[in-house]
Amino acid sequence: MIAADSTIEVVVNGEPLRLPAGSTLPDLVAHLGLAPERVAIERNRDIVPRNRWPETALTNGDSLEIVHFVGGGSPRTC
């Protein structure tokens, strides 16, 4: 059985998602199977610069919007 404090719940593009406690933005991108160079992430209504992803730990209740760039750079929500 998983201890209650060993996971967190975040909301990604309106959908709840459970992740291991201590997960960072690169962990989230990997979990979702996305190419990091093709996404932009907004956390709690603030865009997080890519160079700050590794130091950005997710916390319980975070709201994330991920935009995935496809083709000629046209954005779409994941």
Question: Where exactly are the structural domains of the chain?
Answer: 4-77
Q: What pLDDT score does 1 carry?
A: 43
What pLDDT is recorded for position 28? 98
Predicted pLDDT at 2: 47
∠36-41-46 over CA atoms, to 5°?
Answer: 150
Q: Which CATH number applies to 4-77? A: 3.10.20.30
What is the model's pLDDT at position 75? Answer: 60
Residues of the chain with confidence (pLDDT) below 50: 1-2
pLDDT at residue number 68: 87
Question: Tell me, what's the pLDDT at 66?
Answer: 97
Residue 17 exposed, middle or buried by CB count within 10 Å (0-12, 13-18, 19+): middle
Q: How far is CA 76 from the centre of its chain?
A: 15
What pTM was computed for the model? 0.82
